[in-house]
Structure 1
Amino acid sequence: MRFATTLAAVLSLASTSSALNILLNNDDGFGSGNLRELYKLLKAAGHDVLIVAPATQQSGQGGRSDFSTYPNLTSSSQYDIVPAGAPAVGTDPNDSSIWYYNGTPAACTFVALDYVLPRYYPGWTPDLALAGPNYGTNLGPFVYSLSGTLGATYAAVSRSIPAIALSASNAAVPYFNVTNSSHPAALAAKASYAVVKQFINATAEGARVLPLGYGVNVNIPELFDDTLPPVVKSRLTGEAETDVAVYDEEKGTFTWGNLRPLAAGVNACYNGDCSLPGETAVVANGGISVSAFTIDYDAPSIPYTEMVFAKVENLFSSGEGGNETSGYRTKPAPKKRMMTGRDVYRM
């Protein structure tokens, strides 16, 4: 599906049917050229937009919610926009609608929802959360758990906010170095806006942009001009990559590489429409991929899942560890505090 012949044509169309409250985040930092260009486009379209993004580059953090243990910045922020010693959370000196926080992208989502908004924008509730556009694509289920862009997105989805992750194929650039509309960051923002605008315009006023628990992952190929690439409905799996540890004998250290041949595990498709092309293949062929995901990670109700549970069926039905599954649906949660993965991590 193509929305228009050129990105310029998309932008020249009438403004969106209804103005939304939009929360912007990313993992590249609040000074990202891609982020600021999308911010400008959304503002120009009449949306009320706030940025709450990391004070420094935070790629590869996934959904890790890591909060600063210091009340102030121990070093200057990205591109020296904010000096060392400033509060760990605050605004850009030139735009009070752009906030930074010295934490991971997911932490920025939570700081936005639980500190910035209730304290400084009471009554302001996000209708939509956007993360990106990222520098570089975020393709496939392995990167879904690795990417800070996706982490910021599913953190918002977990809090009942419709959210879209946006990733492009351009290099990192400070926002103040984007000086014309043909800059790769500007092109990435225009393509991102074209997809976001379509989601908004196809939503009835007052309705949710996405169903509860749903998010969207958008990936954009390298752009050379204002031509809008084909936009393709896709899935996370399918020709997707996963990592291999590469050992450097000389340095005695490891780095990552892409496993060859492609791993079957990361490409096993059980959910959704397995006939759709994988987003990795779509972008490799010059298209913009649009994949839907849900926050429900449970295995589907298929024979394979039954096979897994059957292996421990005797524990479910008898013995000291036995239980009646239906009973757990009605019992209140235990009063005692239960240890979580985070408790273990902090020990």
Structure 2
Amino acid sequence: MRSALALVASTAFVLRALGLNILITTDDGFGSASVRELYKVLNSHGHNTFIVAAPTGHSKVDFQTGFTTEPKLTVDGDWGLVKAGEPSLGHDPHDDHIWYYNGSTVAQVIVALDYILPQFHKVSRPDLIISGPNINRVSLKFPYTTVGIMGPAYAALQRGVPAIAFWTEHHPVIPYSWIQNRTNTDFVDPWTATARMAASLVESFIERAAGGPVLPQGVGVAVDLPASSDNCKNPSFVLIRGSQDVPVGNVQFDATMGLFTTGLPEPVYTNEDFDVGFVGIKVPRGETPECVARVVMFAVNFDAATDERCLNAPPVPLVQPPPVVPNVSATGNLTIPTATPTTPVSPPPATVTAMAAGMTIPSLLLLASLVLAL
């Protein structure tokens, strides 16, 4: 009995030691079942998890950075969890790791990074930011990079924090208080099952990181989760391509009304072997198995250094060889080699895919190997 207790205690210690600081946000509201269930699952895995989201849903606000101009809420939050007249920033009275802020989804990330986490929890920077799981699989006729669930993920990467975005279209937005431990078919609540799906992928990345960054710098992951059901509890995670040429919608001006109307682009077919299952993502042509989670890699560009040593470095032409610069010395820790006019500089490739922009080949190969190994 003592040995069993010792094993449990040691396991709990290891979980705490390996636990990460993880921030979750969503555009479905801080009381939505989707993020509350993921919060519970990640906490049960030993992570120090936080939620920062709006008191009301902000679905489809896209990549906006909106901060409230009101110190107090002017309307009740969703499901009456917070009331008009309460502060625009606050936390759940029963859990100081669950916060709301009356701003856009991108603003949630910024407020969490710059104020909530360092000020109240002594967390200078989280190890991972998760956006979602959100309702509304990316089915809008716009590139998936413009939808609300992706804004926080891109903001996280731009602040140097690894990010994963999850979405699904198959379950309604409900408050966490409606979660059922078991459904009529003796299956866990769909949002509980969805949270477990998301957490399984998160844990795979954490395990393979072996104490290092969860993802390579500047690299994020977007995941389309399938509907959870009796027949789909542990989906396969399939790496697919992000489409680089899906058009953003167009607008037309109605002179009579004095307003713009939006035009929805037709689905884009960029390769005979792929069709657009939902705009912005290419999936294999033909019927796709239902219990499959589609994983897309994306990145922001960290190649453009802004530190003083690089700003002071002489420019390097892309095509024509530079003039001879004798005895160029090191600037800071960066050594700039002497140019050799007899060595031509290869021109850049004619096209650079959106997925490759800002990503080094090692980063691409590393992340692809992680997903394919799942």
- The two structures have a TM-score, normalised by structure 1, of 0.71
* Deviation at residue 149 of structure 1 after TM alignment: 1.3
Report % sequence identity: 35
CA contact (8 A) 1:139 1:236 kept: no
Amino acid at match of 2:180: T
Counterpart position of 1:234 = 240
- 1:156-198 CA-to-partner distances (Å, cap 9, x unmatched) read 1110000100112322111111122522211211111111111
Any gaps of 5 or more consecutive residues in structure 1? 1-13, 269-273, 306-347
| Greater mean alpha carbon deviation, residues 230-239 or residues 125-134 | 230-239
Amino acid at match of 1:156: A
- 1:67-107 CA-to-partner distances (Å, cap 9, x unmatched) read 00111111111211011111111101222110000000000
Counterpart position of 2:130 = 130
Q: Distance in 2 between matches of 1:174 and 1:241?
A: 35
| Greater mean alpha carbon deviation, residues 214-223 or residues 178-187 | 178-187
More relative contact order in 1 or in 2 (CA 8 Å, sep 6+)? 1
Amino acid at match of 2:195: A
Q: Distance in 1 between matches of 2:282 and 2:69?
A: 38
CA contact (8 A) 2:193 2:233 kept: no
Counterpart position of 2:333 = none
Q: Summarize the Cα distance change of 1:115–1:238 in structure 2 as closer, same or farther, 3 Å threshold.
A: closer
Q: Distance in 2 between matches of 1:243 and 1:184?
A: 33
Q: Summarize the Cα distance change of 1:304–1:141 in structure 2 as closer, same or farther, 3 Å threshold.
A: farther
Counterpart position of 1:174 = 175
Structure 2 SS opposite 1:217: strand
Amino acid at match of 1:218: V
1:194 aligns with 2:235: no
Structure 2 SS opposite 1:148: coil
- The two structures have a TM-score, normalised by structure 2, of 0.66
CA contact (8 A) 1:140 1:279 kept: no
1:40 aligns with 2:40: yes
Q: Distance in 2 between matches of 1:246 and 1:288?
A: 36
* Deviation at residue 127 of structure 1 after TM alignment: 0.5
Counterpart position of 2:295 = 290
Q: Summarize the Cα distance change of 1:140–1:15 in structure 2 as closer, same or farther, 3 Å threshold.
A: farther
CA contact (8 A) 1:139 1:219 kept: no
Flag the structure with higher helix content: 1
| Greater mean alpha carbon deviation, residues 76-85 or residues 99-108 | 76-85
* Deviation at residue 124 of structure 1 after TM alignment: 4.3
Q: Summarize the Cα distance change of 1:238–1:69 in structure 2 as closer, same or farther, 3 Å threshold.
A: closer
Structure 1 SS opposite 2:191: helix
* Deviation at residue 122 of structure 1 after TM alignment: 2.2
* Deviation at residue 123 of structure 1 after TM alignment: 3.9
* Deviation at residue 224 of structure 1 after TM alignment: 1.6
Structure 2 SS opposite 1:119: helix
Counterpart position of 1:158 = 158
Counterpart position of 2:88 = 88
| Greater mean alpha carbon deviation, residues 114-123 or residues 127-136 | 114-123
Structure 1 SS opposite 2:131: strand
Q: Distance in 2 between matches of 1:63 and 1:228?
A: 31
Amino acid at match of 1:224: S
* Deviation at residue 203 of structure 1 after TM alignment: 0.9
Counterpart position of 1:53 = 53
CA contact (8 A) 2:219 2:300 kept: yes
CA contact (8 A) 2:157 2:300 kept: yes
| Higher Cα radius of gyration | 2
Amino acid at match of 1:198: S
Q: Distance in 2 between matches of 1:34 and 1:255?
A: 33
Q: Distance in 1 between matches of 2:241 and 2:75?
A: 40
Q: Distance in 2 between matches of 1:124 and 1:165?
A: 22
1:67 aligns with 2:67: yes
CA contact (8 A) 1:279 1:290 kept: no
| Greater mean alpha carbon deviation, residues 225-234 or residues 283-292 | 283-292
Counterpart position of 2:343 = none
Q: Distance in 1 between matches of 2:201 and 2:70?
A: 38
Counterpart position of 1:204 = 210
- 1:296-334 CA-to-partner distances (Å, cap 9, x unmatched) read 299x942247xxxxxxxxxxxxxxxxxxxxxxxxxxxxx
* Deviation at residue 32 of structure 1 after TM alignment: 1.0
- 1:190-243 CA-to-partner distances (Å, cap 9, x unmatched) read 1111111111111111x1011111111011122222532221011221896865
For residues 269-284 of structure 1, what are the structure 2 equivalents within 5 Å?
Answer: 279-281=281-283
CA contact (8 A) 1:34 1:134 kept: yes
Counterpart position of 1:303 = 350
Q: Summarize the Cα distance change of 1:281–1:204 in structure 2 as closer, same or farther, 3 Å threshold.
A: same
Q: Summarize the Cα distance change of 1:131–1:215 in structure 2 as closer, same or farther, 3 Å threshold.
A: same
Counterpart position of 2:223 = 218
**RMSD between superposed Cα atoms in Å:** 3.4
Structure 1 SS opposite 2:19: coil
* Deviation at residue 263 of structure 1 after TM alignment: 2.9
Q: Summarize the Cα distance change of 1:135–1:105 in structure 2 as closer, same or farther, 3 Å threshold.
A: same
Q: Summarize the Cα distance change of 1:294–1:76 in structure 2 as closer, same or farther, 3 Å threshold.
A: same
Amino acid at match of 2:198: S
Amino acid at match of 2:37: E
Amino acid at match of 1:115: Y
